[in-house]
Structure 1
Amino acid sequence: MRASRLVNLLLLLQDRGRMTARQLADELEVSVRTVYRDVEALGAAGIPLYGEAGHAGGYRLVDGYRTRLTGLTGDEAQAAFLAALPGAAAELGLGEALATAQLKLRAALPAGLREQAGRIQERFLLDAPGWYGDADSTPHLVAVAGAVWTGRAVVIRYRRWRAPEEIERRVEPYGLVLKAGRWYLVAGGATGIRTYRVDQIIGYRELEEEFEVPDGFVLAEYWNGYLADFRARLHTGEALVRLTADGARRLGVEPGEVRVPIESVEHAHGEFLRLGAEVEVLEPVELRERIAATVQALAARYLPPAGTRNDP
């Protein structure tokens, strides 16, 4: 643990130049006293660094010195590809590895590129989850990710929406996908390649069996095909509606009478009610009648009974 901290201290000084003991302590999450001891250890090991007293003082490396300890470990290399998603790296148990990988990468860059990389991190942020969705509980995510890395088969107990609601399957984890703040496992098995929501995995057991991902399988291509199939199955019907200019803008179509795809009458009922008076459903009749019934029920609830209004 201390060896890793010494390397990180050295890389911090190489990346940022002069730093005070307090700044180093905050970055490394240790005490100032520990920083003093670490600096002494680096000096004893022949690292050319020195300290300057005073308000503008601190520790720095001798000009021109650069460490060659910038090789990435396996975990750090995996984490580096998740640099745009620090939250995802943390969920996969790679948060610390990501921080160390980024530090090593910055230390290996020329000064100009280091400054540019710093500005990117300061000015751009990717926040993947949606506004109103609570974070899913994914207790088996780290274990599943480990099986993906090592290529080991697993047995999962899975909760699904149709009967039987709980199933147990032996699967071969091919990859993980983070979509709108939710993790999905893509895995092969006796029923072919399937997609599983990680938060619906309620039991997990790793096997000793190793597997090989099939030749030609590309996770991104599979996922794109999965999404296309999902959308095709999602919108199985259509509705004829009359839209105002504002309603058309909100749906991303032209004003007037248009046909729009719908998932089901039940789902379209809720979606069109969101538009209020900006939409009139013409077809199908079942959807139009259901919306009319809802509007009448709302009017009965919110409007006072006839003869009791305080009209001027």
Structure 2
Amino acid sequence: MRAGRLVSMMLLLQQRGRMTADALAAELGVSVRTVYRDAEALAAAGIPIYGESGREGGYRLVEGYRTRLTGVTEGEAEALALTGVPQAATDLGLQTELAALELKLSAALSPQQRDRAERARALFHLDVVAWFQRSEPVPLLALVANAAWEQRAIRVRYWRWKEPREVERDLRPLGLVLKGGRWYLAASQGEGPVLPYKVANLLAAAKTEEVFERPDGFDLAAWWAENLDAFDAGRYRGEAVVRFSPEAVERAPDQLDADIVAAIAKADRDEHGWAVATIPIETEWNASGELMKLAGVEVVEPLSLRAMMRQRARAVLDLHA
């Protein structure tokens, strides 16, 4: 633990030049007193570090000194794939390893390359959570990820929509997918098909003694793409013709599914800016609930959906009478 901290302190000074003890303590998550002790340890090990007192003081490395000691640990190697998604690293408990890895990678860059990397960091930020949503708590994510890494089966208690709500399963975890801020586990029961499980719905999980072999040719990204295609193919069971006001057209991307938004975007507008679109729907009950999110929406067909919209609107009026 301390050895890794000493390396991090040396790389911070190499990268940033002079740093105060307070700044180093904040970066390393330790006390100022610990920084003093670590500086003494580095000096005793032959690292040319020195301190300057006064307002412009702090710790420095001798001008021109650079170390190539940037070895990546196993945990940091695991975090490498998450360098662009810090929230994912946090969910998996790898935020410390990711920070250390980024520091080592930065130390290996030339000053010009480091400036470009810092500029890119300032210009681009990836937020994987959809609008009007928050990240779901996933306290068992790290355990599941570790089991997938070790190819160890897990016994889980899982909550699902249909009865019985809570079920127990012995699963072989094959990988994790982060979609729209939600984590999904790709897993099979023995030799059965690989199915998605929402990690936030895991009520309990524990690794078992079973060690399994990963199926030959299993590709997590390809499996997920096929899973999404199958989900979309089975989700939409009908169509509806709907008129959207200009305000509804503008708000649709924040409220409705992407497939519905795409259908609205292709629709012709009348002289008042209303769009008449043929949209895909799951069920009439689901469609009426989704369309009720927007003001300025009129269902043209089917008449049964139009009647359902009228029924739900009347229920709202009666509630507020």
- What's the TM-score, normalizing by structure 1? 0.89
Match of 1:50 in 2: 50
1:1-312 matches, cutoff 5 A: 1-190=1-190, 191-248=192-249, 250=252, 251-254=264-267, 255=269, 256-277=275-296, 279-299=297-317
> Sequence identity, in percent?
48
Q: 1:295 to 1:37 in 2, by over 3 A?
A: closer
Amino acid of the structure 2 residue aligned with 1:57 = G
**Cα distance, 1:132 vs. partner?**
2.9
Question: Matched residues in 1 for 2:194 and 2:222: separation?
Answer: 13
Contact 2:285 2:308 in 1 (8 A): no
What's the secondary structure of 2:82's corresponding residue?
A: coil
With 246-255 and 33-42 compared, the bigger mean Cα shift is at 246-255
Report the more deviating stretch, 251-260 or 209-218.
251-260
| 3-state SS, counterpart of residue 298 of structure 2 | strand
Could you say if the C-alpha distance between residues 290 and 84 of structure 1 is closer, same or farther in structure 2, counting changes exceeding 3 Å?
Answer: same
How far apart are the structure 2 equivalents of 1:133 and 1:70? 39
Q: 3-state DSSP class of the match of 1:65?
A: coil
* Residues 32-73 of structure 1, C-alpha deviations (whole Å, 9 max, x = no match): 222122111111111112223333232211223222221111
Number of equivalenced pairs: 302
Structure 2: runs of 5 or more not aligned = 253-263, 270-274
Q: Secondary structure at the match of 2:37?
A: helix
Output the CA distance in 1 between the equivalents of 2:303 and 2:237: 17
Match of 2:255 in 1: none
Q: For the aligned residues, what is the CA RMSD?
A: 2.0
- After the TM superposition, which of the residue ranges 242-251 and 290-299 deviates more from structure 2? 242-251
Cα separation, 2, equivalents of 1:207 and 1:302: 55
Q: Which SS does the other structure have where 1:27 is aligned?
A: helix
Whole-angstrom CA distance in 2 between matches of 1:45 and 1:259: 73
What CA distance in whole angstroms lies between the structure 1 residues aligned with 2:317 and 2:90?
Answer: 50
| Residue type at the aligned position of 1:8 | S
Gaps of 5+ in 1: 304-312
Question: 2:261 maps to what in 1?
Answer: none
